[in-house]
Structure 1
Amino acid sequence: MISVVGAAIVRHGCVLAARRSYPAAEAGRWEFPGGKVDPGESPEGALVREIAEELGCVVRVESWLTGAVRGRDRGRALELRVALCTLADGEPSGKEHDALRWLTPEQLDDVDWLEPDRPFLAELCEVLLDGEKLPGGNVGGAVRIGATVRRPTGPWTPAVHALLGHLAETGLPAVPRVHGIDGRGREVLDYLPGAVLDVNAEVLTDARLAALGSWLRALHTAASGFDHPGPWRFFGVDAPSLITHNDVAPYNVAFDGDEVAGVFDWDLAGPSDPVCDLGHTAWTAIPLFRPLPDEDAARRLRIFADSYGTDPLTVLDAVRPRVQLAIDGIREAVRRGDEGMRNLAAQGEPERTERALAGFLARRDGIAGFLR
């Protein structure tokens, strides 16, 4: 029996499909690239060799999809198996195919697959729907699939989508578009490329800090004309004056150079006020949760406040109530069974934030002294 292997090369939650140009009976149809296993060769070794020859790149075999397809070729019995692979080096090029496409799980049926490959599509679809886990964020559960991000939904999702639609109409940059709900009930949003800060090891440059303040001002201006009854995930401000993001922090922002390229994780959007929003961003982006020297903290706070167009002391005074709101809100959400907030609790919240807030309050007057 002839052993044949195919490669389902997966990247960013998409699989590579290759269109055959020959023989005539198969030209124009799509397949998993691969080929025959030579005598004495392992299936994994054959797959690496075949992909290097056909696509000019190196793959790593991760695992094998379930089952095999048996058939005949010129009177000889053959068996096809398909492996999940990742790219180890190089970029695929169509040396032996006339077209290549990266397909999302929803696009698997958009191409005319060769019959032997079709039995593997259902299992492959589930693998692709797992997506690629994304960095950034603070609650978890977001994955990338192609040019989209998939995130868990909740009762607040319709209101958040209405807000995103409104902001898109205003022309506010760096806001993801909504593309509906996927087969696992997750929201589908634009993937916003850019550099996301490692908040455990880095701080925003002065230029990025200023850009974030300017973007936050633009958000508040754009959101001032929007209203929605909810339900919302975020509550707690006594007299809300607008609906805003409520978690504009470095872990939720992607930068292109010094400019804000994307702001994500809108699930905490809801009724609030501008000063409350400023307090949270200052806490996370100055960052005031860290024991920066008072003079440096004051200097960065002034950069942020000036770029927004407000007084830095006003922002400083907003920090304590906003952080306390987060502490109380996490505890209440965990009590209600909110899965995202349970993820935070597993990371040591809100106790970690309580300790950081105590440290900030001990430094607060020193920072204020440099601002006066």
Structure 2
Amino acid sequence: MLQVVGAAIVRRGTVLSARRSYPAAEAGRWEFPGGKVDPGESPETALTREIAEELGCAVEVVGWLPDAVRGDDRGRELELRVALCRLVDGEPSGTEHDALRWLAPEQLDDVDWLEPDRPFLPRLRELLLDGDRLPGGNVGGAVRIGTTVRRPIGPWTPAVHALLRHLAAAGLPAVPRVHGLDARGREILDYLPGEVIDVDAEQLSDARLASLGRWLRGLHDASAGFEHPGPWRFFGVETPTQITHNDAAPYNVAFRGDEVSGVFDWDLAGPSTPVHDLGHTAWSAIPLFRPIPADQAARRLTVFADAYGTDPATVLDSVRPRVQLAVDGIREAVRRGDEGMINLAAQGEPERTERALAGFLERRDAIRALL
């Protein structure tokens, strides 16, 4: 029996498909790249050899899709197996196929697969939906699949999606587009590339801090007048004036160079005030939760406030009520069974924030005196 192996090369929740250019009966149809197993070769060795020859890249076999498909090759019985592979070197290219495409799980049916490859698609679709887990954020649960991010939804999701569509229509940059829900009921949003700064390890540069201030002003201008009955996940502001992000912190912001390129984790968007947004961003991005020198804190507050278009003392005074709102909100959300906030509680919140707030209050007057 002739053994044939194919490679399901998976990257960020997508799989590589290859369009055949010959023979005439198969030209224009798509397949998993691969080839025949030579006498004395193991399937793994044959596959890595074929991929190197066909695509000019190196792959590693990490597993095999269940079952095998039997067929006929000009009168010879053959058996096709498909391996899950990951790229270890190079980028796929080559001359044996006239086109290559990385397909997300929803795109697997967009191409005309060769018949022997079709039985492997249902199981592969489920594996692709697992995606690559994304770091960052404070709630978690996001995975990347191709150029999209998939995240769990909640009762607040329709309101958040309405807000995102409104902001996109208003032309606010760095906002993910909404693409509906996937087969697992998760929201599908744009993946926003860029560098995310870990403020536990380094500070935002002054230029990036200013860019964040300008972006936040653009958000507040764009969302003014937007209304939605909710429900919203964020709560506790006694007299809200408009819908804001409520968590525009460095762990939720990506940069390209000095400019904001993406702002994500919109689950906490909801009725609040611009000054509350400013207080939370200053707390996390200056950062005021850390005991940085008072003169440095005052200077960075001024950079941020000037970029937004407000007084730095106003921003400083907004920190305590906004942080206290977060502390109270986490406790209440945990009591109500909010899974994301329960995850935060498992990480030591809100007690960790309460301790940081107490330290900030001891430093606040020294910072104000330098503004």
Asked if Structure 1 and Structure 2 have the same fold, meaning a TM-score greater than 0.5 normalized by the shorter chain, the answer is: yes
Q: Distance in 2 between matches of 1:251 and 1:160?
A: 19
Aligned residue for 1:115? 115
Corresponding residue of 2:130: 130
Shift of 1:330: 1.2
Report the Cα offset of residue 27 of structure 1.
Answer: 1.1
TM-score by length of 2: 0.97
Q: Give the letter aligned to residue 12 of structure 1.
A: R
CA contact (8 A) 1:56 1:95 kept: no
Name the structure 2 match of 1:65. Answer: 65
Matches within 5 A, 1:1-372: 1-371=1-371
1:297-341 Cα offsets, whole Å, 9 max, x none, are: 111111101111111111111111111111111121122221211
SS in structure 2 opposite 1:201? coil
Q: How far off is 1:120 after superposition?
A: 0.6
Moved more, 130-139 or 298-307: 130-139
Separation (CA, whole Å) in 2 of partners of 1:344 and 1:233: 15
Q: Deviations over 1:58-113 (max 9, x none)?
A: 11211111111122323332221111111111111132101111111111011111
| CA-CA distance at 1:367 after TM superposition | 1.3
Distance 2:241 2:68 in 1: 61
Aligned-partner Cα distance in 2 for 1:358–1:175: 34
Identity of aligned residues (%): 81
Q: Which amino acid aligns with 1:139?
A: V
Following TM superposition, by how much is the alpha carbon of 1:260 offset from its aligned partner in structure 2, in angstroms?
A: 0.8
The Cα of 1:165 is off from its aligned counterpart by 1.3
Deviation at 1:220, TM superposition (A): 0.5
Q: Which amino acid aligns with 2:284?
A: T
Deviates more, 1:296-305 or 1:133-142: 133-142
| CA displacement 1:152-175 (0-9 Å, x = unmatched) | 111111111111111112111111
Counterpart residue type for residue 30 of structure 2? W
Superposed CA deviations along residues 247-269 of structure 1, whole A, max 9, x for unmatched, are 00111111111011111111100
Distance (whole Å) between structure 1 residues aligned to residue 200 and residue 2 of structure 2: 53
The answer (yes or no) to whether the contact 1:226–1:242 under 8 Å persists in 2 is yes
2:202 and 2:64 map into 1 onto residues whose CA distance is 39
What secondary structure sits across from 1:276 in the alignment? Answer: helix
User: 3-state DSSP class of the match of 1:54?
Assistant: helix
- The alpha carbon displacement at 1:18 in A equals 0.2
Distance 1:245 1:196 in 2: 17
State how far apart, in whole Å, the 1-side matches of 2:204 and 2:89 are. 32
CA shift for structure 1 position 191: 1.3
Distance in structure 2 (CA, Å) of the matches to 1:78 and 1:198:
53
- The one-letter code of the counterpart of 1:239 is T
**Ranges in structure 2 where 5+ consecutive residues have no aligned partner:** none
Bigger mean CA deviation after superposition, 37-46 or 234-243: 37-46
Root-mean-square deviation (Å):
1.2
Amino acid at match of 2:192: L
Deviation at 1:198, TM superposition (A): 2.0
Separation (CA, whole Å) in 2 of partners of 1:97 and 1:19: 5
Matches of 1:13 and 1:22, distance apart in 2 = 29
Where does the alignment leave 5 or more consecutive residues of structure 1 unmatched? none
Task: Kindly indicate whether the alpha-carbon contact (under 8 Å) linking 1:179 and 1:189 is maintained by their aligned counterparts in 2.
Answer: yes
The amino acid of 1:96's aligned partner reads E
* Count of aligned pairs between the two proteins: 371
- Partner secondary structure for residue 246 of structure 2: coil
Residue 370 of structure 2 aligns to a residue whose secondary structure is helix
CA pair 360-89 structure 1, distance change in 2 beyond 3 A: same
